[in-house]
């Protein structure tokens, strides 16, 4: 019986052995009643652990592929031929991203400055805490001390006045959006959303049965003068740093949006994913701060700490605090309480605020290089938007538009990009003159190289 085990494969040896044996049995390469080698013999011939063979044999016995006869050995018992399986491949090829490709796609922060020491100290303090609740399943609404810490932090840094009971910990922004959509579906069935915007927002609401209406966005944010009366709806906006176009909604438009919501009894979801990083001017008023009765504020630690936390939060108006109760457990508990306890300690110790301050300085230096280099290479051929806040800017080409097939040219020059029209809700435009440029995760040298390559792409597409 020949079995090839590939030790360079990403697939475990146990899984390779299981897949190969099931394939041979179901395709009658091993016939009914045929005796298999003993676990010791097979392990020896394949030069693998006998325990691995024993575990695979036990699994095949449980699934009635094989059976043992006392004092005799192990035999094939499956008699049905099946052509549904393809022979497992033991390829040495590994799927790796090309290290030469510079990804300008939005979303990734600079992870080289993850606060390892502060994080380990916070975890140690959380574990050594006498409160054993952190080792249990936890409150579906989130770890109460973290909700208390967030309530204080948001008041200090964003002017959001809320009680811990108004704060819910979520498994990131997607879970927050899903929870809100489920909680309000019995009384509201319409979503008004910025377009372009984060695509999973309308997708989640649509999947739950909401009607979706796109709202026009310009370089500042929602174009409030074009808001029209509709049935009671939820309005989704990223007012502090519009994604993807990068604008910050002016205080005039903020009040116009709030007035529109109050007049027609709409609720607003304020998605604040990266406004902690502001490089010019004072922080703007959150919509929740202006009108807490009609605004649901959501935030995330994915950009401020790291995406793998999958940790976010919701701040609800007082009148809505009871609504999500029946859905929090349905969606699933937020990330583990121990993780929440670590973030809680990070906030209370002041290390979270220090980390944001440090990263703001780093990002501010990077965005200056982006602006200076773009202006040097492109002069009056472009406009840059969104450079005062967040982790990406938008490069608007004044006399040129891109289409999807142009990405092959970008890739030829080792760039992976997104255009703004890829985030449109409803009927997407086939072309766009706006390129998203995420600078946060790039080194200063990579930023300069990316812009140099961008100029080469521009020449190739315009000549």
Name the nearest CA neighbour of 205 among 262, 269, 272, 287.
269
Residue 2 has pLDDT above 80, yes or no: no
Q: Whose CA is closest to 251, among 242, 269, 234, 239? A: 239
Higher pLDDT, 325 or 144: 144
Question: How would DSSP label each residue in 388-446?
Answer: TBSSEEEEEETT--EEGGGHHHHHHTTEE-EEGGGG-SSS--SEESEEEEE-TTS-HHH
Which run of H or of E encompasses 235? strand 234-237
pLDDT value at 454 more than 90: yes
Please, which pLDDT band fits residue 149 given cuts at 50, 70 and 90?
Answer: very high
Nearest-angstrom CA–CA distance, 204 and 210: 9
Average of per-residue pLDDT across 5-32: 83
Q: Give the model confidence (pLDDT) of 313-332 as tens digits.
A: 999 998 887 666 666 665 65
**Residue 281: what pLDDT?**
76
**Residue 326: per-residue pLDDT:** 62
Pairing of strands 66-69, 73-76: antiparallel
Tokens of 3: 């079995």
Q: What is the pLDDT of residue 30?
A: 82
pLDDT (mean) for 63-84: 74
Please name which of 73, 43, 78 lies closest in space to residue 60, comparing C-alpha atoms: 78
- Give the per-residue pLDDT at 62: 82
pLDDT band at 64, cuts 50/70/90? confident
**86, pLDDT greater than 60:** no
* Burial letters 404-415, b for 16+ CB under 10 A, else e: eebbeebeebeb
What's the pLDDT tens digit per position in 373-400?
Answer: 999 999 899 999 999 999 999 999 999 9
The torsion region of residue 350 among left (phi > 0), alpha (psi -120 to 50) and beta comes to left
State whether residue 167 is helix, strand or coil: strand
Query: How far is residue 96's CA from residue 45's CA, in Å, rounded to a whole number?
Result: 32
Give the per-residue SS3 of 341-380.
HHHHHHHHHCHHHHHHHHHHHHHHHHHHHHHHHHHHHHHH
How much is the average pLDDT of 126-138? 85
- Give me the pLDDT at residue 78, please: 65
Task: Determine the average pLDDT of the residues in 45-71.
Answer: 86
Q: Give the SS3 label for residue 70.
A: coil
Task: List strand residue ranges (DSSP E) for 133-178, in order.
Answer: 167-170
d(CA 213, CA 236): 10
Lowest mean pLDDT among 156-165, 233-242, 259-268, 330-339: 330-339
Q: What burial class does residue 165 get, using C-beta atoms within 10 Å of its C-beta: 0-12 exposed, 13-18 middle, 19+ buried? A: middle
pTM (two decimals): 0.77
Who wins on pLDDT, 191 or 46? 191
Q: Give me the mean pLDDT over the 123-152 stretch.
A: 90
Answer whether residue 93 shows pLDDT above 50: no
Whether the per-residue pLDDT at 251 is higher than 80: the answer is yes
- Measured CA to CA, the distance from residue 6 to residue 410 in angstroms comes to 36
Alpha-carbon span 328 to 169, nearest angstrom: 10
- Residue 97, both tokens: 């991203």
Cβ atoms of residues 314 and 298 within 8 Å? yes
> Does 294 or 136 have the greater pLDDT score?
294
SS3 for 1? Answer: coil
Q: How many other C-beta atoms are found inside a 10 Å radius of the C-beta of residue 206?
A: 14
Cα–Cα–Cα angle for 269, 273, 277, nearest 5°?
A: 135
Percentages (nearest 5) of helix, strand, coil residues in the chain: 45, 15, 40
Does pLDDT of 84 surpass 70?
A: no
pLDDT of residue 328: 67
Query: Does position 269 have pLDDT exceeding 90, yes or no?
Result: yes
| Contact predicate 347/355, CB 8 Å | no
Mean pLDDT of 337-346: 95
Averaged pLDDT, 67-78 = 83
Asked if pLDDT for residue 294 goes beyond 50, the answer is: yes
Work out the percent of the chain whose per-residue pLDDT is above 90.
59
Looking at residues 292-309, what average pLDDT do you find? 94
pLDDT score at 85: 47
- What would the mean pLDDT of 196-223 be, rounded to a whole number? 92
DSSP 11: S
Determine which of 68-77, 133-142, 420-429, 437-446 has the lowest per-residue pLDDT on average.
420-429
Instruction: Return the percentage of the chain with pLDDT > 70, whole number.
Output: 92
Q: Which residue has the higher pLDDT, 11 or 265?
A: 265
312 contacts 299 by C-beta, under 8 angstroms:
yes
User: Which DSSP symbol is given to 314?
Assistant: E
Mean pLDDT on 147-156: 95
- pLDDT, tens digit, 9 for 90 and up, residues 166-178: 999 999 899 999 9
Average pLDDT over residues 438-462: 95
Q: What is the pLDDT of residue 90?
A: 46
Mean pLDDT, the chain, whole residue set: 88
pLDDT at 92 over 60: no
Span 124-133, mean pLDDT?
86
What are the beta bridge partners of residue 384?
A: 395
What lies within 8 Å, CB to CB, of 231 at 6+ separation is: 189, 190
Within 8 A by CB and 6+ apart from 289, the residues are 158, 159, 160, 161
Q: What span, in angstroms and rounded, lies between the C-alpha atoms of 359 and 238? A: 21
Examine the pLDDT at 440 and tell me if it is beyond 70: yes
- Band of pLDDT at residue 91, cut at 50, 70 and 90: very low
């Amino acid at each position: 019986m020949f079995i090839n085990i590939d030790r360079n494969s990403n697939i475990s040896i146990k899984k390779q052995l299981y897949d190969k044996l099931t394939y041979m049995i179901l395709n009658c390469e091993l016939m009914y009643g045929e005796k298999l080698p003993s676990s010791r013999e097979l392990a020896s011939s394949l030069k693998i652990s006998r325990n691995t063979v024993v575990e695979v044999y036990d699994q095949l016995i449980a699934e009635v592929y094989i059976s043992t006869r006392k004092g005799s050995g192990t035999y094939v018992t499956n008699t049905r031929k099946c052509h549904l399986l393809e022979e497992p491949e033991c390829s040495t090829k590994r799927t790796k991203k090309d290290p030469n490709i510079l990804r300008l796609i939005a979303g990734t922060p600079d992870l080289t400055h993850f606060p390892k020491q502060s994080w380990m100290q916070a975890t140690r303090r959380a574990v050594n805490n006498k409160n054993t609740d952190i080792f249990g399943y936890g409150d579906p609404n989130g770890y109460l001390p973290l909700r208390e810490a967030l309530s204080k932090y948001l008041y200090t840094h964003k002017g959001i006045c809320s009680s811990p009971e108004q704060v819910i910990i979520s498994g990131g922004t997607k879970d927050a959006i899903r929870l809100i959509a489920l909680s309000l579906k019995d009384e509201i069935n319409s979503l008004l959303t910025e377009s372009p915007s984060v695509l999973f927002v309308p997708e989640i609401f649509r999947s739950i049965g909401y009607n979706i209406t796109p709202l026009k966005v310009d370089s500042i944010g929602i174009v409030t003068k074009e808001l029209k009366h509709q049935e009671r709806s939820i309005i989704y906006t990223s007012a502090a740093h519009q994604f993807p176009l990068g604008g910050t909604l002016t205080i005039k438009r903020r009040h116009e949006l709030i007035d529109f919501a109050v007049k027609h009894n709409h609720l607003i979801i304020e998605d604040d994913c990266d406004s902690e990083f502001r490089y010019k001017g004072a922080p703007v008023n959150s919509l929740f701060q202006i009108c807490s009765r009609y605004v649901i504020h959501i935030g995330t630690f994915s950009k401020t700490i790291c995406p793998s936390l999958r940790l976010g939060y919701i701040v609800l108006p007082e009148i809505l605090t009871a609504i999500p109760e029946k859905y929090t457990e349905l969606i699933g508990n937020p990330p583990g309480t121990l993780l929440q306890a670590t973030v809680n300690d990070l906030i209370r110790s002041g290390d979270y605020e220090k980390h944001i301050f440090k990263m703001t300085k780093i990002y501010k230096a990077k965005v200056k290089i982006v602006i200076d280099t773009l202006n040097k290479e492109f002069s009056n051929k472009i406009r840059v938007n969104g450079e005062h806040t967040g982790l990406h800017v938008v490069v608007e080409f004044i006399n040129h538009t891109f289409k999807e097939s142009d990405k092959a040219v970008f890739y030829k020059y080792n760039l992976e990009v997104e255009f703004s029209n890829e985030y449109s809700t409803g009927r997407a435009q086939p072309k766009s003159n706006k390129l998203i440029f995420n600078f946060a995760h790039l080194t200063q040298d990579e930023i300069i190289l990316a812009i140099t390559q961008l100029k080469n792409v521009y020449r190739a597409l315009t000549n």
